[in-house]
């Protein structure tokens, strides 16, 4: 099996300080959490930002500050959100990709019920987002929350809005999507287009099981407080690097070396950093 890529998702849009007081929300806090996770072995940072009050946002200045601070600290691959929460306009969702040109950006391949709201990703938006990513040299990370989204991605690839090989993120145990079960992960992976790379995470209590399965199956993994705040039942993680260290221990048992940034770029088909 190829080396294991670890993505760290420090913040997200839904986790709150009420869930964990250790959540990073300010640009400097997020950058420091990313840097510590990078030192522990993460090669991709999935970046969300928050307002000064800790709310989800797609504010360009927050992205500039956060991405700038991360890039000052290390050469980790930047994978920027294109959602940032619910209710943002198409322009707000696409602007950080176009203006900051991250290495990667999320591409949520369909609409869904999402907790107490609706996460809208209509065809017209996905076509605009895919076109913007192609024009700006950004590799999409196609997030799939159910099997229908895999089919959506295949159609978008056929129509030229996604370029193969695609990198997929299998997102499980998200309210409104597929449950975080071994059978569901296996079904998603078996549905992917030939030649794809893939990663997976399970939210909350499914995090460890899905991580372990992905390592064993030859996929890659995402960890961090966006998806799960507990190291073990009732024990909060204080830093995101603790999840990365756990992946290191698991990967060693499965004899899968961890990919550094240069190796992750090669696996994903990203250009080498100059």
Q: Is the pTM of this model over 0.95?
A: yes
- The vertex-254 CA angle with 252 and 257, nearest 5°, equals 50
Residue 244: inside a domain: yes
Summary count for the chain: helices (H), strands (E): 9, 14
Positive or negative CA dihedral for 99, 104, 107, 108?
A: negative
**Which among 173, 197, 232 is positioned nearest to 4, based on CA atoms?**
197
Provide the β-strand partners of residue 41: none
Range of the domain at 33: 6-268
Distance (Å, whole) CA 31 – CA 223: 16
Residue 88: inside a domain: yes
One-character DSSP codes across 144-180: ESSHHHHHHHHHHHHTTSS-SSPEEEEEES-TTS---
Residue 273: inside a domain: no
Residue 127: inside a domain: yes
In tens digits, what is the pLDDT along the chain, a chain of 274 residues?
A: 899 999 999 999 999 999 999 999 999 999 999 999 999 999 999 999 999 999 999 999 999 999 999 999 999 999 999 998 888 999 999 999 999 999 999 999 999 998 889 999 999 999 999 999 999 999 999 999 999 999 999 999 999 999 999 999 999 999 999 999 999 999 999 999 999 999 999 999 999 999 999 999 999 999 999 999 999 999 999 999 999 999 999 999 999 999 999 999 999 999 987 5
Residue 93: inside a domain: yes
Q: How many CB atoms lie within 10 A of CB 161?
A: 20
Which residue in this structure is represented by tokens 């950006």? 105
pLDDT of residue 274: 54
**Which among 163, 181, 217 is positioned nearest to 1, based on CA atoms?**
217
Q: Which two structure tokens, joined as six digits, stand for 151?
A: 């089919």
pLDDT of residue 116: 84
Residue 274: inside a domain: no
Q: Which two structure tokens, joined as six digits, stand for 81?
A: 């959100």
Q: How many CB atoms lie within 10 A of CB 179?
A: 12
Q: What are the backbone dihedrals phi and psi of residue 54, each rounded to the nearest 5 degrees, phi first?
A: 90, 10
Q: Are 106 and 141 in contact (CB under 8 A)?
A: yes
Q: How many CB atoms lie within 10 A of CB 127?
A: 15
Please tell me the total count of domains within the chain: 1
Q: How many CB atoms lie within 10 A of CB 256?
A: 18
CATH code, domain carrying 29: 3.20.20.70
Q: Are 247 and 6 in contact (CB under 8 A)?
A: yes
Residue 1: inside a domain: no
pLDDT of residue 273: 78
């Amino acid at each position: 099996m190829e080396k294991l890529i670890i993505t760290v998702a420090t913040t997200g849009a839904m986790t709150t300080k009420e869930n964990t007081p250790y959540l990073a929300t300010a640009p400097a806090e997020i950058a420091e959490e990313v840097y510590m996770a990078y030192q522990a072995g993460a090669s991709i940072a999935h970046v969300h930002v928050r307002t000064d009050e800790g709310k989800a946002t797609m504010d360009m200045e927050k992205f500039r500050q956060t991405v700038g601070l991360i890039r000052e600290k290390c050469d980790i691959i930047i994978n920027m959100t294109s959602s940032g929460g619910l209710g943002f306009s198409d322009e707000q969702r696409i602007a950080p990709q176009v203006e900051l040109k991250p290495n990667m950006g999320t591409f949520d391949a369909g609409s869904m019920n999402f907790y107490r709201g609706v996460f809208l990703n209509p065809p017209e938006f996905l076509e605009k987002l895919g076109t913007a990513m192609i024009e700006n040299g950004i590799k999409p990370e196609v997030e799939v929350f159910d099997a229908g989204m895999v089919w959506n991605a295949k159609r978008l690839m056929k129509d030229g809005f996604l370029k193969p090989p695609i990198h997929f993120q299998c997102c499980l145990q998200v309210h409104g999507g597929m449950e975080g079960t071994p059978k569901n992960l296996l079904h998603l992976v078996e549905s992917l287009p030939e030649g794809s790379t893939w990663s997976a995470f399970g939210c909350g209590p499914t995090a460890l099981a899905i991580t372990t399965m992905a390592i064993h199956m030859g996929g890659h993994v995402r960890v961090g407080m966006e998806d799960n705040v507990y190291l073990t039942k009732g024990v909060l993680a204080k830093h995101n690097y603790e999840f990365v260290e756990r992946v290191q221990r698991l990967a060693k048992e499965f004899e899968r070396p961890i990919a550094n940034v240069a190796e992750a770029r090669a696996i994903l088909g990203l250009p080498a950093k100059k």
